[in-house]
Amino acid sequence: MSELSYDVLVNNDNLLSPFYCPSNLIVTDDNENNFHQYKDPTLKPMIREDIYPYILKMMEDAKKEGIFFILDSGYRSYEYQKVLLDKLLAQLGDSAYQKIALPGASEHQTGLAFDVAYYNNGVYSDDVKGDDKEAIWLANNSYRYGFILRYPKGKEHVTGFQYEPWHFRFVGFELAKILFQEDITLEEYYERNKGSSRILL
């Protein structure tokens, strides 16, 4: 199966096939930043191998500025997304749909997206708030590494997703810079460039 291009648009209107799985996933088990076992020992973050170096470089540069974050959740299969949704539906009822993507609508299935968490003073936390210094640093600097804050505050009506200060998506260096500098979402970019040769899909 060929890999999805870096600018792929995945949302409630653009669903991935239940059978789609990137072919070059790596398990980030040997990564010192992997603390996922604190939540579930059977789950280790996976990510597309071609973008992993950019995450590591971003972590390394952040560290130099005293900013520490960990790769918490990367690739998720269609099936696993369904398990997560069902779990949340049992807890929250229909409001679960506001909190978690439908199977096929999650960027985690592309292997190009990941959630960050913290591991500070020996304590793991995925309680990421938009005004945390780490989240602010990532929102302002991730584009330099080809990533975007995919679900910004105030753009919920455009993305169809709640504000997620922890979720970052690789879109490539050029596109990340455009989206950051023009303060637009991937949806707005596609809307604006409909029919344009800029869109590589």
Beta strands in 83-174 (DSSP E): 113-120, 123-125, 147-149, 167-170
**In which element (H, E) is residue 71 found?**
strand 70-73
**Which is catalytic among the residues 49, 107, 156, 164?**
164
Q: 5 by DSSP, 3-state: which?
A: coil
List the one residue from 167, 172, 185, 186 that touches Zn ion (CB under 5 A). 167
Task: Report the candidate in 24, 69, 63, 56 with the shortest Cα–Cα distance to residue 146.
Answer: 56
Q: Which is nearer to Zn ion, 36 or 167 (CB)?
A: 167
Nearest distance in Å: CB 188, Zn ion: 20
Give residue number: closest CB to Zn ion.
Answer: 167
Q: Has 49 been annotated as catalytic? A: no
Range in contact with Zn ion (rule: CB under 5 A) among 2-10, 12-20, 29-37, 115-123: 115-123
Q: Which is nearer to Zn ion, 67 or 100 (CB)?
A: 100
Torsion 77-171-63-132 (CA) sign: negative
Phi and psi for 125 in degrees, rounded to 5?
-150, 135
Q: Which is nearer to Zn ion, 48 or 167 (CB)?
A: 167
d(CA 45, CA 3): 19
Nearest distance in Å: CB 36, Zn ion: 13
Tokens of 13: 């209107």
- Specify whether the CB–CB gap between 102 and 50 falls below 8 A: no
User: Any residues with CB less than 8 A from the CB of 17 and at least 6 apart, and which?
Assistant: 78, 104
Establish if 155 lies at the interface with Zn ion (CB under 5 A): no
Nearest distance in Å: CB 131, Zn ion: 19
Q: Which is nearer to Zn ion, 155 or 167 (CB)?
A: 167
Range in contact with Zn ion (rule: CB under 5 A) among 28-36, 44-52, 166-174, 188-196: 166-174
Establish if 72 lies at the interface with Zn ion (CB under 5 A): no
Q: Which is nearer to Zn ion, 59 or 116 (CB)?
A: 116
d(CA 169, CA 172): 9
Nearest distance in Å: CB 11, Zn ion: 13
Establish if 115 lies at the interface with Zn ion (CB under 5 A): yes
Sites of contact with Zn ion (CB under 5 A): 115, 167
Q: Which residues are catalytic?
A: 164
